[in-house]
Amino acid sequence: MSLIGAAYHDERRAARERRSLATALIAEFNGAIQIEQEVGYRAEYQRCLDQIRAGHPEPMPNFHYEWDGGRSIYYTNLPRIGILPENVTNKLIRGASAFQVVVADRQCMDRGDWNTQSPEKRADMLARHLQMYDQVLVLCGEIITDLRKVK
């Protein structure tokens, strides 16, 4: 095989790997968004925040939220993320970091850690959680759009 032929073959293989990874990540993000919407996490947290602000504090919802990063397509392919375009890689890393904050908050809520705080503090923490949650959803949408453009 000529040098040009080998380079062409290598680029085609690399493009297939990029598209394959992008397709898997799109499926993971779409699946996560669908679950979030079906379970209604955001609506329940918003309802709880509204109750606290109305002077009717109640315990934080407990969804028994579990997330295993070891099964995540993103985390299991972390060494390969660099094959994607730089703008996508940067958003993926920012999104994963923000998602970790949301996960940590939920785990604290499920353990009852937030219930020991004053209603005012819980309202502040929950408002920040919802803000981060909304940012993660927007970022996920942007990531999916960018991943669909991967060639």
> pLDDT per residue over 33-55, tens digit each?
898 889 888 999 999 999 999 99
Q: Determine the distance from the C-alpha atom of residue 93 to the mean position of all C-alpha atoms in its chain, rounded to a whole number.
A: 10
At residue 8, the pLDDT reads 64
Mean pLDDT of 94-115: 89
Query: What is the helix, strand, coil percentage profile of the chain, to 5?
Result: 80, 0, 20
- DSSP symbol at 55: T
Q: Give the pLDDT confidence of 123-144 residue by residue, as tens digits.
A: 999 999 999 999 999 999 999 9
At residue 143, the pLDDT reads 93
Give the three-state DSSP class for 59.
Answer: coil
- Cα distance between residue 22 and residue 147, in whole Å: 5
- DSSP symbol at 1: -
Give the three-state DSSP class for 71.
Answer: helix
- H or E element, residue 122: helix 119-148
What residues contact 127, with CB distance under 8 A and at least 6 apart? 49
At residue 19, the pLDDT reads 94
Q: Give the pLDDT confidence of 15-32 residue by residue, as tens digits.
A: 899 999 999 999 999 998
